[in-house]
């Protein structure tokens, strides 16, 4: 398997662009399990799993905890999640015995609205500021406090144009981001959920293709609405957690 030498843990500093490209060439043709094991072998206790507990999140939650049951699972709770999302979190924590770590923005939702107004109603710049406060900063704090040099994410190329060129691993904000199912289709996801009797997020049945915060997610009530434009009023697909920088 990749970058053998085995039990010696890698540091972010050793993963230069050339090495990342080499690993990606090998991981592209590897199995999902091999991709997961690569991350576990090379980062050990310094890798976590981040989950939005979105529509298809049960896939990565299940497959990664089958390899390491107590991996820290980071949830960013903006304070604006759907009630169904909180219920889904409870359901998956109970079923998979997840080692859940919840991180929240430093300012409460009420304080943010008092200070800044409803940022999500203030165009693209307002949405970007909202995401920076409610998602990016808490995630960076979570990685730091968990001592993580790497994190697993369940994003896939097929989900949007902004994700169409993601690789198995990428360097982002000084951390290694690992995408075990980057090349999966919706059919692959469906087959996995069915094989292990895992649920979609409950809002799937109400027409949601992607779920984030209450005020910036909408169901696909028309045939021409995709997962990509059902978020953030079609102004952007990303919340800042999956932007390479």
* Residue 239 is a catalytic residue: yes
The β-bridge partners of 170 are 177
What the block records as the tokens of 202 is 């409950």
Could you tell me the strand order of the sheet in which 47-50 lies?
A: 99-103, 72-76, 47-50, 150-152, 175-178, 169-172
Alpha-carbon distance of 90 to 228, in angstroms, equals 27
Active site residue: 37, 60, 146, 239, which one? 239
Q: Which residues of 154-184 are buried (b: 16+ CB within 10 A; e: fewer)?
A: bbbbbbbeebeebbbbbbeeebbbbbbbbbb
Ranges assigned E (strand) in the chain: 47-50, 72-76, 99-103, 150-152, 169-172, 175-178
Q: Is 73 helix (H, G, I), strand (E, B) or coil?
A: strand
Rg (CA), the chain: 18
Alpha-carbon distance of 163 to 182, in angstroms, equals 9
Any idea which residues carry the catalytic annotation?
A: 239
């Amino acid at each position: 398997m990749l970058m053998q030498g085995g039990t010696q843990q890698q540091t972010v500093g050793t993963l230069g662009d050339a090495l990342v490209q080499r690993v990606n060439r090998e991981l592209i043709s590897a199995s999902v399990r091999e991709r997961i094991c690569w991350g576990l072998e090379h980062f050990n206790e310094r890798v976590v799993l981040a989950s939005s507990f979105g529509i298809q999140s049960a896939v990565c939650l299940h497959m990664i905890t089958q390899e390491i049951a107590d991996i820290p699972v980071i949830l960013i709770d903006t304070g604006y999640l759907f009630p169904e999302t909180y219920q889904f979190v409870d359901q998956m924590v109970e079923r998979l015995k997840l080692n859940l770590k919840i991180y929240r923005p430093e300012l409460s939702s009420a304080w943010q609205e008092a200070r800044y107004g409803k940022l999500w109603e203030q165009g693209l710049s307002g949405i970007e500021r909202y995401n920076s406060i409610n998602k990016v900063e808490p995630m960076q704090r979570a990685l730091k406090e968990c001592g993580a040099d790497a994190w697993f994410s369940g994003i896939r190329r097929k989900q949007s144009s902004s994700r169409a060129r993601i690789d198995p691993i990428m360097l982002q904000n000084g951390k290694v981001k690992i995408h075990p199912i980057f090349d999966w289709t919706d059919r692959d996801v469906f087959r996995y959920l069915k094989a292990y009797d895992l649920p979609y997020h409950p809002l799937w049945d109400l027409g949601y293709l992607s779920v984030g915060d209450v005020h910036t997610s909408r169901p696909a009530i028309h045939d021409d609405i995709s997962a990509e434009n059902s978020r953030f009023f079609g102004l952007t697909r990303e919340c800042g957690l999956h932007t390479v920088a």
